[in-house]
Amino acid sequence: MLKEMSPIQSNEDGILSKLYRKVLIETGFINSVNYFINRYDGKKNRTTISRLILSGEMTWNSFTFLTLTILQAKYIELEITIKKDGETHTVTVKQERDSYIEKEAGKLLRRSVELLLRALSLEDKTKELIGKYYRSGGKKNKATIPKILDSESISWKSYIFLIFELISNTNVDMVLNVKNVHGKVTTHKLLIKKND
């Protein structure tokens, strides 16, 4: 859906995969990944693992599923930090292990977008872009904006697209906090650059 969006075209597909590989290396869970791949039989609940490892693509739902499953985490917490006009703004997306991932993950991202827009006073900019979308007849490269705001779900690609499109930011800092079943919290950081 975002192939025409040149500012993030070169890096948006692999952002979550890159962060996830970093997490796996730092936590020593590579063997767990190999174990799950060996068990992969094409069933629905294994598809996300195969897609991540074999193609390098990942959705927010599969990212959440893999983190909670392979790392046996109690929860994951993703902090996205934006700097605008010298001010720093951070939004947090948290996913509990017992939550229904497929239903709730998109809502969590959408909620964090709303908080981010409010913190940055970008409601007017959002309305302007939505207006352009409808005036353009709903062309492909504008589809993510109304999809996010008119529905209760949001994809990871749409989330990154909104951050860069609405905020015109050059860098986005992401911090992933993972709490395992023993209560230990590990922190993993990744910087997304707009023109990488």
pLDDT of 7 reads 33
Instruction: State yes or no: pLDDT of 132 exceeds 70.
Output: no
Could you tell me which residues come within 8 angstroms of residue 104 by beta carbon, excluding any fewer than 6 positions away? 95
The answer to whether residue 118 is domain-embedded is yes
* Gap between the terminal Cα atoms of the chain: 19
pLDDT of 79 reads 74
Q: Cα–Cα distances in Å, from 193 out to 11, 110, 163, 174?
A: 8, 22, 12, 11
Structural domain boundaries, residue 34: 6-193
**Highest mean pLDDT pick, 119-123, 136-140, 144-148:** 119-123
**pTM for the full predicted model:** 0.49
The answer to whether residue 95 is domain-embedded is yes
Q: How many domains does the chain have?
A: 1
pLDDT of 8 reads 34
pLDDT, tens only, 25-40: 766 666 666 665 565 5
DSSP 168-186: --SEEEEEEEEEETTS-EE
The answer to whether residue 1 is domain-embedded is no
pLDDT band at 76 (very low <50, low <70, confident <90, very high): confident
Instruction: State yes or no: pLDDT of 44 exceeds 50.
Output: no
Residues 51-66: what's their mean pLDDT? 58
Residues 80-100: what's their mean pLDDT? 67
Give the DSSP H or E segment for 164: helix 156-167
The answer to whether residue 103 is domain-embedded is yes
Q: Residue 189's beta-bridge partner residues?
A: 175
Q: Are 78 and 187 in contact (CB under 8 A)?
A: no
The answer to whether residue 92 is domain-embedded is yes
The answer to whether residue 120 is domain-embedded is yes
pLDDT of 140 reads 47
Give the tokens for residue 172: 């986005």
**Highest mean pLDDT pick, 39-43, 53-57, 131-135, 186-190:** 186-190
Looking up tokens 């190999």 gives 34
The answer to whether residue 48 is domain-embedded is yes
